[in-house]
Structure 1
Amino acid sequence: MSSNRRDFLKKASLLSSVAITLPSINNAAFAAAPAFNMTGYAAPKIDKVRIAVIGLGMRGPGAVDRLSYIEGAEIVALCDKHADRVEKAQKILTNKGLKEAKSYSGENGWQQMLKEVELDLVYICTPWQYHAPMCIAAMKAGAHAASEVPIGLTVKECWEVVRVSEETKKHCMMLENCCYDFFEMLTLNMTRQGLFGELVHAEGAYIHDLLDLNFNKKGYDDMWRLRQNIKMNGNLYPTHGVGPIAQCLNINRGDRMTHLVAMQSADFQMGEKAKELAAKDSFFQEFVGQRYRGNMDTTLIKTEHGKTMMLQHDVTSPRPYSRLHLLSGTKGFAQKYPKEGIAFGHSFIKEDELKGLYDKYTPELIKYIGAQAKEVGGHGGMDFMMDWRLIDCLRNGLPLDQDVYDGASWSVIVPLSCESVAKNSKTVLIPDFTKGAWKTNKPHDLTLNGGGNTGIRPKVSKDQKNQLKID
């Protein structure tokens, strides 16, 4: 073989190996675009936040209920593909003596709504595939956007959401409620105060048995979540696990995630479930013989400063609910599941010592609104705390706790984990959505007590509490 031929093959082999990861790094057109740094950005104050809620199936009605309690928030439009859901959501408002919102329905009702209604915030609770297009359209229409997780399903969508947020100077917040849970916020503050030393490793997860719900004809509209478990083969729901630990590790604010590797088991249950149901009901016949996402996905991530993260996703195995939330530092350790525990050596501290840490290190946000949040409800209060904090920031011109870079970098784990799994756990690079600004971005302010002028409307009775399933 000639030396030229050998050189050519050597270069071709190198290019081939690089090409496997290049599509996931970023799109050069997005990465090179002029950027306005949205981290720490405080948008102009809005005295009364005019809100539209899109998607009134599983999550939307709870959002309408929670937002209706917040002073300075007015729901002016409601939209869902199904008109009957809009009517039910209207009753949440009118039963509290609040003004009825404008109603929109149908496949394109949300687009008509954006043209006709003047909005400050669009709150999105639709199936995953609509999140990025709706966020982008909302910001282009002049409103801030807040979306249920994830904020995008492809690398391109995540870049586009970032680009539009920077260009319009409109906030785009992913509604990662787990960042506002009580133990997560306690450990975040303890991390900031140096009690765990320097964090070395962290773990998060979404382990939740949804097998029956995903196959329930009355569950997700048109079985959309089951269809996503066929379409995508990776960690489909990383943000509940990664959000809180990413904040502890100052991701996008002093450090960044650089690459990941994902490994996934085969499917041992969904395919069998489809066959079992189809034997009794022909409706499920289309789901027989499909290639389902595996039971357990484990994704390992490394950061620029050498920290490691482990994320897990399993929504089919019969096991207790867990988000893990584990922090391991040079001086201490914390974990939430199966039981909250903190250690500064070989053993966990006693319950009275843990209570003392709660008394000393609970952030101001929880002290300010935590008790009321538990009364309103929503996953024990963290949903309401998230909503209240979002509205208070918009009303007082404060930076948001979660910005568009957080939403993009946490969400992009979905397509990148799928890519790694498809290529036998090959390393995949993670885009830097901040375009280098992570080096100087500052962690958000942990006083988190807002402007102090946003309260809640009439006291909530027990029968009005939000009793939504964990999702």
Structure 2
Amino acid sequence: MSDSDYSRRKFLTNSSMAMGGIAMMGSGLPFDLMPQSLANNDKPVRLGFVGIGGRGSYHLDVALGMEGVVVPAICEIKPERLYRAKRWIEESGQPTPTLYDRGPTDFRRLCEEEELDAVICSTSWEWHAPICLAAMRNNKHAVCEVPIILTVDDAWELVETFEKTGKWASLALEQAMLESTDGLTLLNMVQKGVFGEILHSESGYVHDLRFVKNNPAEEPWRLAYDVTHNGNLYPDHPMNKIMAYENINHGDRMDHLVSMSSKAEMLHDYAVLNYGKNSEQAKMKFKQGDVNATLIRTVNGKLITLNYDTNTPHPRELFKIQGTKGVYLNGGALEEPKIYLEGRSPKAHQWESASKYLEEYKHPLLKNYNPAPRKSAIRGHGGSGNKTPLTWHLLIKALREGSTPYFDVYDSVTSSIIFPLTVKSVANNSKTVDVPDFTKGKWKTRAPLSFV
């Protein structure tokens, strides 16, 4: 099916309902498909891991430190990673896992043969949707690293499979909302009307990755996408927060976008400087512009500005949220978050520190979440803290209760769909591209994000 055909397709319709526990309200899972297998909190949660590199090893180490979570199976194409994970599992006191190492598609055998509650996918991007679909079609939920899909067809296939099987695929371990210092607290401020009606959010993935892309020990597969694509290739980190603040899929939805990229210079210059002008890296031709800017308009007239830049030298990105009563700014080279609230800030049209507001409106979930320290810092790419991340706590809670994660399948594919749509816009002289409605109209009645 071509991208232009999605609006004409007919899909299953299902009534919306609110989920219990700490979950996304109004996620729309049909009641007769609600899984019951994990209703007993005494039953271990069984997880299989596919891809155990930097992020995969981080997730594995978190899981091994949680009571009642077991890892019976792991899948990895690199032997050194596979056997490191095997050792970690055994050292945690769990039985030796079944190893799946017969090439890049051996995840299918894992999904077919293992009795698991969920599969954790942390592979390179092109395998994300196939792994999620294999899990869902074999009676397992899927939790995926970003992006969850690369094409419009894959997005619709995930939605269809969820609605047919009741098994979800989710970006449930995306950390931007739950693990950032201001994520949940800003949501609390937005929902209490501190900023008035939200009109505009601006953020992006602005992160100098030239070394990472060119280092075989890091993530050289990213470099391949710069050769073949040109758009916003990594929208999910900022969208994880922006979608919640602007009620995307929960009272509003993204209607259309336009995307534009600069010329591509920096990766070539980096290769010449570090490897020489006659090196293989210097001979590569790149499509991806060094700076990409995307504008998204919602049905209700709100605006989103997304920036994507992983090739130029700079500090990390800024995050801004603008409402009818004020504005919040954080990130980049700022020493601390700034805020301006009309009629409330001490000086007209001047920034003040946001610290007192972030303390005043600290989300209750953050106040109440205080897990016991683990014996050692968590290994892998994801931070070196020694406490179980809130994302993992909520994931295991959802699996035990038979509910959906706070970022459900509709939200997950909507977040990642920006990737292929921006590529399409850039390729067509920055023409406007419509954003599919993966909820099929349910966005009008789905309740905003709410943590109980």
One fold, TM greater than 0.5?
yes
Deviation at 1:443, TM superposition (A): 1.5
User: Which segment drifts farther, 160-169 or 118-127?
Assistant: 160-169
Q: For 1:200 and 1:24, how far apart are their aligned partners in 2?
A: 29
Match of 1:294 among 289, 301, 305: 289
Deviation at 1:267, TM superposition (A): 1.0
SS in 2 for 1:123: strand
User: Which segment drifts farther, 393-402 or 235-244?
Assistant: 393-402
8 Å Cα contact 2:14-2:28 kept in structure 1: no
State the match for 1:331 in structure 2.
325
8 Å Cα contact 2:293-2:308 kept in structure 1: yes
Question: What per-residue deviation string (whole Å, max 9, x for no partner) do you get for residues 241-280 of structure 1?
Answer: 1120111111001000000010111112112333445538
Match of 1:349 among 352, 377, 380: 352
Q: TM-score, normalised by structure 1?
A: 0.83
User: Which segment drifts farther, 258-267 or 325-334?
Assistant: 325-334
8 Å Cα contact 2:337-2:353 kept in structure 1: no
The question of 1:397 aligning with 2:393 is answered no
Q: For 1:184 and 1:26, how far apart are their aligned partners in 2?
A: 36
State the match for 1:194 in structure 2.
193
Question: What per-residue deviation string (whole Å, max 9, x for no partner) do you get for residues 18-42 of structure 1?
Answer: xxxx95455256x412133671536
Q: For 2:54 and 2:254, how far apart are their aligned partners in 1?
A: 32
Deviation at 1:291, TM superposition (A): 2.5
State the identity %: 35
State the match for 2:175 in structure 1.
177
Output the aligned Cα RMSD: 2.4
8 Å Cα contact 1:37-1:434 kept in structure 2: no
Q: For 2:397 and 2:170, how far apart are their aligned partners in 1?
A: 14
Q: For 1:262 and 1:37, how far apart are their aligned partners in 2?
A: 34
Match of 2:311 among 312, 316, 325: 316
Match of 1:91 among 70, 87, 92: 87
Cα distance change of structure 1 residues 441 and 376 upon mapping to structure 2, 3 Å threshold: farther
Select the structure that is richer in helix. 1
Q: For 2:91 and 2:283, how far apart are their aligned partners in 1?
A: 44
Deviation at 1:409, TM superposition (A): 0.8
Cα distance change of structure 1 residues 237 and 53 upon mapping to structure 2, 3 Å threshold: same
8 Å Cα contact 2:117-2:399 kept in structure 1: no
SS in 1 for 2:190: helix
Q: For 2:218 and 2:11, how far apart are their aligned partners in 1?
A: 41
SS in 2 for 1:59: helix
Counterpart amino acid of residue 398 in structure 1: S
Cα distance change of structure 1 residues 254 and 383 upon mapping to structure 2, 3 Å threshold: farther
Structure 2 regions of 5+ residues with no counterpart?
Answer: 17-26, 343-348
User: Which segment drifts farther, 68-77 or 123-132?
Assistant: 68-77
Q: For 2:408 and 2:15, how far apart are their aligned partners in 1?
A: 10
Q: For 2:319 and 2:272, how far apart are their aligned partners in 1?
A: 35
State the match for 1:365 in structure 2.
365
Q: For 2:61 and 2:187, how far apart are their aligned partners in 1?
A: 28
Deviation at 1:51, TM superposition (A): 0.3
Match of 2:96 among 92, 97, 100: 100
SS in 2 for 1:445: coil
Q: TM-score, normalised by structure 2?
A: 0.86
Structure 1 regions of 5+ residues with no counterpart?
Answer: 1-21, 448-471
Question: What per-residue deviation string (whole Å, max 9, x for no partner) do you get for residues 400-448 of structure 1?
Answer: 210111111111100110111111111110000001010011113223x
Q: For 1:112 and 1:397, how far apart are their aligned partners in 2?
A: 25
Q: For 1:177 and 1:328, how far apart are their aligned partners in 2?
A: 22
Q: How many residues align?
A: 417
Counterpart amino acid of residue 81 in structure 2: R
